[in-house]
C-alpha cells in the first residue's frame, strides 16, 4: 500500500525460455543456490509498498511455483498464463483486479531487479500515471533493411531501451489489454498497449544490474557473479541415556522394540546435534539458548519442531542451508534401512534435498557408555552460506 493504493506485483514465469537451452523452464534453473523465480520473489517480498505478489506460470508448473513461494512473506496468488506474453499479463491482471489498484508487471527472467528500481517505478506511477524501467540507448542505433543494409542512423539521444518493471494503474492497463484484444493488436508489450490507447507512458531510469537471463551463458555468468561469498561450517554433538519405557526416536524416525532416550524433549539426539550445528554455523548460540530445558513449553517436545524453528531462524538471518553430515554412535539397534528413512525425514524438516543429507552409523566397540548400550550419541556437521 502506498498513498492509499493497493499494489500487487505480477511476475511473469510462463515462458518456455527456449533460448537458454534447458529441458525445463529457465525460471526454475538453479544457479548460485537459487533460481530466477526465487530471487525475484525474495526481492519483491522486501518491497514494503507491495500488498502481494501474483506469479503467472504454466498450469502444469503451478506445483513447482507453489514450492518456490514457500516462506515468502507476502500474499501470494498463483495463476495460469496463456500462449503469449500478452495473454499471460492479461490473465494475471484479471487474477488481481479485485485486490489491487496498481500492477507492477515484471519479467521473471530479470531476477536481479533491485528494490529501489521497483520503488522508483511505483512512485512514478503514482505521480505520473505510469513508470516503465528502461535505459537511454548508449550504442549507435541503425535502421536496417531486409538485407541487413543500413538505411539510416537514429538519433540515440531520444531512444530508450525498455525493460521491466512496468507499473500502471490496473484499470488503465486492463482496459488497454481489452481494447487490444478487440482491435486484434497482438505481440506488443504493455507500454505499447498503453500508448495505443493514447496514454502517456513515462521512462524510469533503469539500473545496470537489471539484466535479463536469456541464454545459457547468462546463467553461467550469473553463477560466477552470485556465488555465495560467505561460507561457514558448524558442528553439533549430543548424547542421551537409554532407558526402558520410552520410545526410541532418532532423526525423527520411530524405532520399535528398543529402549528409548531419556530427555526433557523426546530425546532425539540426532536432531539435537543438527540443531546445534546450524546455530553454531550461524554463530547464533546453542539449542539451550533458544529452547531452554527448564521451559515447560519444551517438555516432551517433538524435536522436529525445534529443528524446523532453528532452520527458520538461520534462514531468517539470510543463510542458505547447504548440507548436513551426521554420525550416530550406538551399539543397538542396527540402523540399516532406517538410515534412508532418517535422511528423508531430516530433508523434510529442513526443506532441503535428501541428497544433501548424510547419515552414518558407528559402534563404540563396547567401550564407554555408548559401547555398553547405556546411551546413544550423535554428531552433526553442516554448511551454510550467503
Ligand atoms: Mg539433547
CATH number of 231-385: 3.30.1330.50
Structure-model confidence comparison of residues 265 and 135, the more confident one: 135
Among the ranges given (166-175, 180-189, 300-309, 313-322), the one the predictor scored with the smallest mean pLDDT = 180-189
Within the chain, all domains assigned CATH 3.30.1330.50 are found at 231-385
| pLDDT (mean) for 318-332 | 95
Expressed in angstroms and rounded, the spacing between residue 272 Cα and the centre of ligand 1 is 5
Expressed in angstroms and rounded, the spacing between residue 251 Cα and the centre of ligand 1 is 12
What percentage of the chain exceeds 90 in pLDDT? Answer: 83
Residues 6+ apart with CB under 8 A from 251: 268, 270, 271, 326, 328, 338, 341, 342, 343, 345, 346, 359
Q: What's the confidence (pLDDT) of residue 237? A: 98
Among the ranges given (42-51, 209-218, 288-297, 300-309), the one the predictor scored with the smallest mean pLDDT = 288-297
Expressed in angstroms and rounded, the spacing between residue 316 Cα and the centre of ligand 1 is 24
Rounded Cα distance, 176 and 90, in Å:
10
**Is it the case that residue 301 has pLDDT exceeding 90?**
no
What percentage of the chain exceeds 70 in pLDDT? Answer: 100
Expressed in angstroms and rounded, the spacing between residue 252 Cα and the centre of ligand 1 is 13
Expressed in angstroms and rounded, the spacing between residue 379 Cα and the centre of ligand 1 is 11
| pLDDT (mean) for 67-96 | 94
Q: What is the pLDDT of residues 344-366, one digit of tens each?
A: 999 999 988 899 999 999 999 99
Expressed in angstroms and rounded, the spacing between residue 240 Cα and the centre of ligand 1 is 6
Q: What's the confidence (pLDDT) of residue 264? A: 84
How far apart, in Å, do the first and last CA atoms of the chain sit? Answer: 30
Expressed in angstroms and rounded, the spacing between residue 287 Cα and the centre of ligand 1 is 8
**Is it the case that residue 298 has pLDDT exceeding 90?**
no
Expressed in angstroms and rounded, the spacing between residue 291 Cα and the centre of ligand 1 is 11
Q: How far is CA 18 from CA 56, 81, 216, in A?
A: 18, 17, 10
Residue 211 contacts residue 128 (beta carbons within 8 Å): no
**Is it the case that residue 16 has pLDDT exceeding 80?**
no
Expressed in angstroms and rounded, the spacing between residue 124 Cα and the centre of ligand 1 is 55
Expressed in angstroms and rounded, the spacing between residue 377 Cα and the centre of ligand 1 is 9
Please confirm whether the linkage preceding 165 is cis (ω < 30° from 0): yes
Q: What's the confidence (pLDDT) of residue 187? A: 74
| Residue ranges of E strands in the chain | 7-12, 52-57, 75-80, 102-107, 130-136, 142-144, 150-153, 160-169, 203-205, 231-243, 248-250, 253-255, 260-261, 320-329, 357-362, 375-385
Expressed in angstroms and rounded, the spacing between residue 232 Cα and the centre of ligand 1 is 23
CB half-sphere exposure, 42, CA atoms < 13 A: 13
CATH number of 7-225: 3.90.550.10
Within the chain, all domains assigned CATH 3.90.550.10 are found at 7-225
Among the ranges given (11-20, 114-123, 159-168, 361-370), the one the predictor scored with the smallest mean pLDDT = 11-20
SS3 of residue 332 by DSSP: coil
Expressed in angstroms and rounded, the spacing between residue 293 Cα and the centre of ligand 1 is 9
Amino acid at each position: 500500500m502506498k498513498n492509499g493504493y493497493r499494489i500487487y506485483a505480477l511476475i511473469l514465469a510462463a515462458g518456455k525460455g527456449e533460448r537458454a537451452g534447458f529441458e525445463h523452464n529457465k525460471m526454475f534453473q538453479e544457479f548460485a543456490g537459487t533460481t530466477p523465480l526465487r530471487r525475484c520473489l525474495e526481492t519483491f517480498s522486501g518491497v514494503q509498498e507491495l500488498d502481494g505478489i501474483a506469479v503467472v506460470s504454466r498450469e502444469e508448473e503451478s506445483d513447482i511455483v507453489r514450492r518456490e513461494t514457500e516462506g515468502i512473506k507476502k500474499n501470494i496468488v498463483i495463476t495460469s498464463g496463456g500462449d503469449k506474453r500478452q495473454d499471460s499479463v492479461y490473465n494475471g491482471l484479471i487474477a488481481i483486479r479485485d485486490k489491487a489498484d496498481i500492477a507492477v508487471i515484471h519479467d521473471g527472467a530479470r531476477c536481479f531487479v533491485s528494490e529501489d528500481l521497483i520503488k522508483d517505478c511505483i512512485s512514478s506511477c503514482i505521480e505520473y500515471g505510469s513508470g516503465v524501467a528502461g535505459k537511454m540507448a548508449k550504442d549507435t542505433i541503425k535502421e536496417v533493411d531486409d538485407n541487413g543494409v543500413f538505411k539510416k542512423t537514429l538519433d540515440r539521444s531520444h531512444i530508450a531501451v525498455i525493460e521491466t518493471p512496468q507499473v500502471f494503474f490496473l484499470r488503465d492497463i486492463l482496459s488497454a489489454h481489452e481494447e487490444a484484444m478487440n482491435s486484434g493488436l497482438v505481440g506488443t508489450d504493455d507500454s505499447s498497449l498503453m500508448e495505443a490507447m493514447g496514454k502517456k507512458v513515462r521512462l524510469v531510469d533503469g539500473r545496470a544490474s537489471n539484466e535479463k537471463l536469456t541464454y545459457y551463458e547468462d546463467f553461467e555468468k550469473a553463477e560466477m557473479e552470485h556465488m555465495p561469498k560467505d561460507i561457514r561450517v558448524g558442528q553439533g554433538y549430543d548424547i542421551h541415556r537409554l532407558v526402558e519405557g520410552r520410545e526410541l526416536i532418532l532423526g525423527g524416525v520411530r524405532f520399535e522394540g528398543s529402549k528409548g532416550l531419556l530427555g526433557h524433549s523426546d530425546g532425539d539426539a540426532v536432531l539435537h546435534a543438527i540443531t546445534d550445528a546450524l546455530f553454531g554455523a550461524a554463530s547464533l548460540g546453542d539449542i539451550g539458548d533458544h529452547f531452554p530445558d527448564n521451559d515447560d513449553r519444551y517438555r516432551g517436545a517433538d524435536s522436529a519442531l525445534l529443528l524446523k524453528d532453528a532452520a527458520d531462524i538461520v534462514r531468517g538471518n539470510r543463510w542458505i542451508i547447504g548440507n548436513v553430515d551426521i554420525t550416530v554412535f550406538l551399539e543397538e539397534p542396527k540402523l540399516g534401512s532406517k538410515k534412508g528413512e532418517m535422511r528423508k525425514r531430516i530433508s523434510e524438516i529442513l526443506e532441503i534435498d535428501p541428497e544433501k543429507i548424510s547419515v552414518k552409523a558407528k559402534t563404540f566397540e563396547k567401550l564407554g557408555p555408548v559401547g555398553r548400550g547405556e546411551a546413544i550419541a550423535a554428531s552433526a556437521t553442516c554448511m551454510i552460506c550467503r
